[in-house]
Amino acid sequence: MSLTATGGKHGADMSESTSLPQSMADASLPERLTERELEVLRHVAAGMHNHEIATELRVSIKGIEFHLCNILGKLGCRSRTEAVVRGWQAGMLEL
């Protein structure tokens, strides 16, 4: 999957994947995400809803909500969208 943004405020074209070196990603986060949290974040980045993620990972919706709460807290975010952007900026996601 690639993220493409053209026009908008800054006319940015982000059609190529960009990620930070792992050392920078680790240094910018107060706490690392678990493998399961990363898996959930990747599904969120793919545009999946909680019930879709729960079905895909074979867990309850409450389990997904728990992981999302942890993700938001660890990344210092207030929304799913902000968490995806923060994850991408920290090099955890390739969009």
1 assigned to some structural domain: no
3 pLDDT band, cuts 50/70/90, is very low
Q: Are 44 and 84 in contact (CB under 8 A)?
A: yes
Q: Is residue 7 part of a domain?
A: no
Residue 43 placed within a domain? yes
Residue 45 covered by a domain: yes
> Does residue 62 sit within a domain?
yes
Q: What is the CATH number of the domain that holds 75?
A: 1.10.10.10
**8 within some domain:** no
**In whole angstroms, what is the distance from residue 37 CA to residue 30 CA?**
15
pLDDT band at 31 (very low <50, low <70, confident <90, very high): confident
Residue with tokens 């955890």: 92
State phi, psi for 10 to the nearest 5 degrees: -110, 0
Q: Which domain covers residue 38, as residue numbers?
A: 22-89
As a whole number, the mean pLDDT across the chain is 79
pTM of the model: 0.69
- The residue written with tokens 């943004």 in the block is 5
Structural domains of the chain, count: 1
> Does 39 fall in a domain?
yes
Q: What is the dihedral of CA 36, 19, 75, 81, to 10 degrees?
A: -90
Give the residue among 50, 7, 31, 9 at the shortest CA–CA distance from 90.
31
Q: What is the pLDDT of residues 35-74, one digit of tens each?
A: 999 999 999 999 999 999 999 999 999 999 999 999 999 9
